[in-house]
């Protein structure tokens, strides 16, 4: 059996997220459909993580065990031919037998993009969330500093019954406002369900003065989802990169 490593871009707008679901279009589902057809047998694709419905990816990584003897480039071309326009397989290459897209992932970068100008982001409207205020970036940065590092992020998880550890490390949160676009780049070793979206909803409140940076610190310490801000909308979020 070969073990192939795939790099995939997708526009998540019309999908019910990464994970396969019966009778609903998902990214994993589409990839498995095309590969199973190519192989004439069911194929299972393992992703580095699961993106939510409506979330995009610039470079999701996955692996798949196959018996096909086709060169990796031909598998890529075959997949691109049969996948819809909103999913691209950027690269297929042979990986070591033991490579596992999820277990071996060391870190991930997520990007949130908002637009706060008076025009409308016509050409990027599916990847950018419009907001009707101009945030104070220095307040957001002060709040983000409290969220950087190794912490119990339970307050920023949408799964209140999580039995496993909710401790994660967020290496960096980079925030910039340029030409009316607000960008938040998160890098960490792994994120809880909805963590990036809830951190972003909370930081946006900090940027409006609704919550002070110190209150954001208290939310983290309080470990209660109800204290944090809203879950930011999926469409502004893109998985940028997975490190191995």
The residues binding its own copies (CB under 8 A) are: 9-11, 56, 58, 73, 76-77, 80, 83, 85-90, 118-125, 127
Nearer to its own copies, 130 or 208 (CB): 130
Q: What gap in Å lies between CA 242 and CA 110, rounded to an integer?
A: 9
Q: Identify whether the C-beta of residue 10 lies closer than 8 Å to the C-beta of residue 57.
A: yes
Strand ranges inside 103-235, DSSP E: 107-115, 129-130, 149-152, 167-178, 181-188
CB of 15 vs its own copies, minimal distance in Å? 12
CB of 90 vs its own copies, minimal distance in Å? 5
Q: Report the run of H or E that residue 210 belongs to, with start and end.
A: none
Structure tokens at 9: 């871009």
Q: Identify whether the C-beta of residue 61 lies closer than 8 Å to the C-beta of residue 48.
A: yes
3-state SS string for 84-111 = CCCEEEEEEEEECCCCCCCCCCCEEEEE
CB of 43 vs its own copies, minimal distance in Å? 21
Q: Identify whether the C-beta of residue 238 lies closer than 8 Å to the C-beta of residue 111.
A: yes
Nearer to its own copies, 103 or 123 (CB): 123
52 carries an active-site annotation: yes
CB of 109 vs its own copies, minimal distance in Å? 16
- DSSP for 5-28? EEEEEE-GGGSS-SS-BTTB--HH
CB of 11 vs its own copies, minimal distance in Å? 5
Look up residue 228 and give its DSSP letter.
S
Report the candidate in 200, 125, 195 with the shortest Cα–Cα distance to residue 154.
195
Q: Identify whether the C-beta of residue 28 lies closer than 8 Å to the C-beta of residue 16.
A: no
Catalytic residue among 52, 85, 132, 136: 52
Which residues belong to the active site? 52
């Amino acid at each position: 059996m070969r073990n192939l490593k795939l790099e995939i871009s997708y526009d998540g707008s019309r999908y019910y997220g990464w994970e396969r679901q019966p009778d609903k279009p998902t990214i994993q589902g589409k990839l498995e459909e095309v590969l199973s057809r190519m192989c004439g047998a069911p194929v299972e694709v393992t992703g580095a993580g699961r993106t939510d419905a409506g979330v995009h990816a610039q470079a999701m990584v996955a692996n798949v065990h196959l018996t096909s003897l086709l060169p990796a480039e031909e598998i890529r071309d075959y997949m691109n031919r049969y996948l819809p326009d909103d999913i691209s397989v950027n690269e297929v290459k042979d990986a070591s037998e033991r490579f596992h897209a999820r277990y071996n992932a060391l870190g991930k970068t997520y990007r949130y993009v908002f637009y706060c100008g008076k025009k409308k982001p016509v050409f990027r409207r599916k990847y950018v969330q419009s907001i009707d205020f101009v945030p104070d970036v220095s307040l957001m940065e002060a709040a983000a500093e409290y969220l950087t590092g190794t912490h119990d992020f339970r307050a920023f998880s949408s799964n209140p019954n999580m039995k496993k550890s909710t401790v994660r490390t967020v290496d960096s949160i980079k925030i910039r406002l340029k030409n009316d676009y607000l960008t938040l780049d998160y890098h960490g070793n792994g994120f809880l369900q909805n963590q990036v979206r809830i951190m972003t909803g909370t930081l946006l409140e900090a940027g409006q003065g609704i919550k002070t940076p110190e209150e954001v610190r208290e939310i983290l310490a309080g470990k209660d989802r109800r204290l944090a801000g809203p879950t930011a909308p999926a469409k502004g979020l893109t998985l940028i990169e997975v490190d191995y």
